Amino acid sequence: MKFKIYYASGIGGDQIDYDDSPQETENFKNRDKAIKYAWERACEEYDSYAGLHGIRDVEEIMDEDGVDEKEAEEVYREERENVIEYDAKLVADDNIDKVSKDIKKK
C-alpha cells in the first residue's frame, strides 16, 4: 500500500502541514509500518539538532539535571516525543477525501 509520509521535528515551530506535499511517498505493508517509519524520520530530524538551537543532548541533560546517562537518555526521549509530529496517510484515503470535497462543491 502506498502512504504519504509526514514528519516534523517540532523545532522552531516546525509542524506538519498537510496542505504541502508530503516529505515522502512510499510503499508499506500496513499503516503501522508506515507510522513507525514516519516516527523514525521525525526522530532523526530532531536528533540532528541535538546540542543546537536550545535542544539539549544527553550530556547537557546530565550536566544540567544532575542525572546519570540512563536517566538523561530517558529525559531526552521524553523531550523529543513532546515536540515531534508524524503521520502516514494512505494515498487511497487522500483520493476519497478529494472526491468527497468535489461532490460537496457540486
Residue 27 domain flag: yes
Output 54 or 42, whichever has higher pLDDT: 42
Write down the pLDDT at residue 94.
Answer: 57
Residue 98 domain flag: no
Domain that holds residue 83: 2-91
Residue 41 domain flag: yes
CB atoms within 10 A of CB 36: 14
Q: Which among 13, 32, 26 has a CA at the least distance from the CA of 91?
A: 26
Question: What is the C-alpha separation between 101 and 96, in angstroms, rounded?
Answer: 9
Counted domains in the chain: 1
Q: Which of 24-33, 39-48, 80-89, 92-101 has the lowest mean pLDDT?
A: 92-101
Q: 37 phi and psi, to 5 degrees?
A: -65, -45
Residue 75 domain flag: yes
Q: Which among 11, 1, 3, 4 has a CA at the least distance from the CA of 82?
A: 11
Output 21 or 58, whichever has higher pLDDT: 58
- Regarding pTM above 0.75, the answer is yes
Give percent of the chain above pLDDT 90: 70
Integer angstrom CA distances of residue 48 from 18, 42, 65, 77: 23, 10, 22, 14
Output 67 or 17, whichever has higher pLDDT: 67
Output 19 or 60, whichever has higher pLDDT: 60
